[in-house]
């Protein structure tokens, strides 16, 4: 009922006496990567005016989190950016840990880094495949999803789920790595490292791809800062800002990597930045593999604080205190001291910020998530102004937004 | 755990000197600096911090403290691309009390403010296009307010 009213209202509002055509692109359109609706005013092929309409995937995650305990609210974070659930898990967990004021074993931080970087590669693979598809390079999609699949297999091995992992939790990890994970990860990394050149070769010098992306959708650094843009989109415009390097979290300050920067600000620069990020992520993963000790008895995979994470099963058998801790955690959860914190992580799309407000109870008083897609979608009218309709598709792909992340 | 640097404390002193009567105070909690100002200087304080180097508006949001008067906290988180830290600017707003929009300072705050308007019902003055963003245009109520039931408005059914 409500969507109908909305449609009518827009059509009246957007009526233009000058003879322009008004095109409703989306919400069900393959190139909008989800349910983005763009109301385009066209003069022939040229975009005169555009207005993004979001909210079709709004599920009230921030409101729902207020009635869940801290452990339960974690599962909501997977469902926001469904192409990078582990990055969101990481941001949430770090925010809650900051609220609690607890320290995490170093090994856990390294495992988190490894998983977050694998997630970045997987997410960039989806982006590369779908943006190639949008520009007419069908084969990109088929190649890239193979690579993504082997990374998701790793996630399935550690957490039991391919996408909605909830593996990184406040206090540590859901469970220790499965035996043989490090060997499997090593194999996957070797395979990916061998294929990076092939992925460059598929598009980098392709004349059609260059024609369609070079000089298209130029974003200047001033506009990027003015629109609060983060992530690869900002870095392709010369905004030198990467939270992994500039506000290191988890154990990123132990790693050596460079932040790819381009100054052209066009769709091609965004493509190159992401491709180089994949290489850097592989480098970080390699370093992480060298730092993580294999799973085994007595190897920490979560904090020892029994008020935050449940005790191991064998302890419950003989310790009354452990049994009480277990019972309290699963009936009430933990209660962080009052206050508010803001924690940012660099997701594949940019800055994800978790703003947690605690009133001293076992549920978050407010969970606010600042998502990169929200700010990046706001930029679309700025980029597609006065360009041809066919370029809109390529620019949308080069921004790489996820509507679940945008609408929450 | 990180702590607030001396440089940031200095920034807080400068802000309090600049907006003497409209400055409410500052708070350090878990290594984060929060500065409180009164609503009349909201935009000027944001502009002051932006010009002091906090050029990236990281987030703009609100919190509803139902039992408190004034009821809402409006907060902006500003990060510095040079100093690599962030500061939180807060103001307090009563029910129905409008506040200056930050769009003249950062164009990107446009959608953040529309979202706050949509979900909290806080009005922003001088906003170019203040309308609902996530919810349908004809939606009644502001869901992130604490007196809005999580199951939806009374009598509503899942549609």
**What structural domains does chain B harbor?**
6-125 (3.30.460.80)
For tokens 């988890």, what's the residue? A250
pLDDT at B1: 53
A240 closest CA partner among A251, A254, A225, A227: A225
Under an 8 Å CB criterion, which residues of B touch A? 1, 29-30, 32, 55-59, 61, 63-64, 77, 79, 81, 84-86, 88, 106-111, 115, 119, 132-139, 143-144, 148, 150, 159
**A residues 119..148 contacting B (CB < 8 A):** none
ipTM of the complex: 0.89
A227 in contact with chain B, both atoms CB, cutoff 8 A: yes
Task: Place A131 in a pLDDT band, splitting at 50, 70 and 90.
Answer: confident
pLDDT at A400 over 90: no
C-alpha dist (Å) from residue A295 to A180, A183, A301, A311: 9, 12, 8, 18
Burial string for A46-55 (b: 16+ CB within 10 Å, else e) reads: ebbebebbbb
Name the 3-class secondary structure at A266. Answer: coil
Average pLDDT over residues A258-275: 90
Tens of pLDDT along B119-141?
A: 998 999 888 888 888 888 888 88
pLDDT at A9: 53
In this structure, the strands spanning B72-79 and B86-93 are antiparallel
Task: Place A232 in a pLDDT band, splitting at 50, 70 and 90.
Answer: very high
Query: A244 near A252, Cβ under 8 Å?
Result: yes
| DSSP per-residue letters across A166-226 | --EETTEESSPPPTTHHHHHHHHHHHHHHHHHHHHHHHTT-HHHHHHHTTSS---HHHHHH
Task: Place A397 in a pLDDT band, splitting at 50, 70 and 90.
Answer: confident
Query: B95 near A217, Cβ under 8 Å?
Result: no
Q: Which residues of B touch A246 (CB under 8 A)?
A: 81, 84
Q: Closest Cα of chain B to A181: distance in Å?
A: 31
Q: Which residues of B touch A6 (CB under 8 A)?
A: 136-138
pLDDT at B155: 67
CATH 2.60.40.10 for domain A61-303+337-407 = no
pLDDT at A8: 47
Is B56 within 8 Å of A241 when comparing Cβ atoms? yes
Tens of pLDDT along A8-38?
A: 455 545 555 667 888 888 787 776 777 888 8
pLDDT at A93: 93
pLDDT at A12: 46
Please give the mean pLDDT across all residues of chain A. Answer: 87
**A residues 95..114 contacting B (CB < 8 A):** 98-99, 101
A51 in contact with chain B, both atoms CB, cutoff 8 A: no
Q: Which residues of A touch B56 (CB under 8 A)?
A: 225, 228, 230, 241
Task: Place A124 in a pLDDT band, splitting at 50, 70 and 90.
Answer: very high
Average pLDDT over residues A287-314: 86
Average pLDDT over residues A135-139: 83
Helices (H) and strands (E) in chain A, counts: 18, 8
Q: Where are the domains of chain A?
A: 17-53, 61-303+337-407
**Order of strands across the sheet that contains B72-79:** B23-29, B32-37, B86-93, B72-79, B56-64
Q: Which of B61, B64, B111 faces A378 most closely, judged by CB atoms?
A: B111
pLDDT at A1: 40
Query: A375 near A230, Cβ under 8 Å?
Result: yes
Residue A302 has what DSSP assignment? B
pLDDT at A157 over 60: yes
CA dihedral A87→A88→A94→A96, nearest 10 degrees, is: -170
pLDDT at A328 over 80: yes
Average pLDDT over residues A256-277: 90
- In the predicted model, residues of chain B with pLDDT beneath 70 are 1, 155-159
pLDDT at B69: 85
Q: Which of B58, B84, B159 faces A370 most closely, judged by CB atoms?
A: B58
Query: How far apart are alpha carbons A121 and A135 in whole angstroms?
Result: 21
pLDDT at A190 over 90: yes
């Amino acid at each position: 009922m409500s969507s109908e009213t909305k449609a009518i209202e827009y059509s009246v509002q957007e009526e233009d006496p000058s003879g322009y055509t008004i095109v409703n692109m989306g919400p069900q359109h393959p190139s909008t990567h989800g349910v983005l609706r763009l109301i385009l005013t066209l003069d022939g092929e040229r975009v005169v005016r555009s207005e993004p309409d979001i909210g079709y995937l709004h599920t009230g995650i921030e409101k729902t989190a207020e009635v869940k305990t801290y452990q339960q609210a974690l599962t909501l974070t997977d469902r926001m950016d469904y192409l990078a659930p582990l990055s969101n898990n990481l941001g949430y967990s770090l925010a809650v840990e900051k609220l609690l004021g607890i320290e995490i074993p170093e090994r856990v931080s390294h495992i988190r880094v490894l998983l977050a970087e694998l997630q970045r590669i997987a997410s960039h693979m989806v982006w590369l495949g779908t943006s190639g598809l949008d520009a007419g390079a069908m084969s990109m999609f088929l190649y890239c999803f193979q690579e993504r699949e082997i990374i998701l297999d790793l996630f399935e091995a550690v957490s039991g789920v391919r996408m909605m992992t909830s593996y990184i939790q406040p206090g540590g990890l859901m469970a220790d790595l499965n035996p043989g994970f490090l060997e499997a990860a090593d194999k996957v990394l070797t395979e990916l490292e061998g294929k990076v050149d092939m992925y460059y070769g598929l598009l980098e010098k392709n004349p059609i791809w260059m024609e369609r992306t070079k000089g298209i959708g130029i974003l200047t650094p001033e506009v990027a800062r003015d629109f609060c843009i983060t992530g690869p989109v900002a870095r392709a415009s010369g905004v030198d800002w990467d939270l992994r390097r500039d506000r290191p979290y988890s154990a990123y300050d132990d790693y050596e990597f460079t932040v790819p920067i381009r100054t052209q600000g066009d769709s091609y620069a965004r493509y190159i930045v992401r491709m180089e990020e994949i290489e850097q992520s592989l480098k970080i993963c390699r370093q992480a593999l060298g730092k993580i000790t294999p799973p085994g008895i007595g190897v920490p995979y979560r904090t020892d604080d029994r008020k935050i994470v449940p005790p191991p099963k064998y302890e419950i058998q003989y310790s009354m205190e452990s049994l009480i801790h277990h019972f309290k955690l699963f009936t009430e959860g933990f209660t962080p001291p009052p206050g508010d914190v803001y924690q940012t992580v660099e997701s594949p799309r940019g800055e994800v910020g978790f703003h947690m407000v605690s009133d001293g109870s076992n549920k978050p008083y407010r969970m606010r998530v600042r998502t990169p897609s929200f700010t990046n979608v706001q930029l679309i009218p700025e980029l597609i102004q006065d360009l041809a309709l066919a370029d809109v598709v390529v620019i949308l792909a080069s921004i790489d937004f996820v509507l679940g992340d945008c609408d929450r | 755990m990180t702590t607030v640097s001396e440089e940031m404390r200095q920034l807080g002193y400068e802000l309090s000197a600049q907006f003497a009567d409209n400055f409410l105070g500052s708070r350090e909690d878990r290594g984060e600096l929060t500065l409180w100002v009164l609503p009349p200087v909201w935009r000027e304080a944001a502009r002051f911090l932006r010009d002091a180097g906090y050029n990236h508006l990281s987030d703009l949001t609100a919190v509803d403290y139902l039992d408190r008067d004034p009821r809402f906290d409006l907060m902006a988180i500003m990060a510095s691309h040079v100093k690599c830290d962030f500061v939180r600017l807060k103001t307090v707003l009563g029910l129905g009390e409008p506040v200056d929009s930050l769009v003249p300072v950062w164009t990107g705050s446009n959608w953040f403010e529309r979202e706050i308007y949509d979900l909290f019902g806080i009005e922003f003055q001088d906003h170019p296009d203040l309308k609902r963003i996530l919810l349908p245009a004809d939606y009644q109520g502001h869901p992130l307010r604490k007196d809005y039931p999580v199951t939806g408005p009374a009598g509503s059914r899942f549609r």
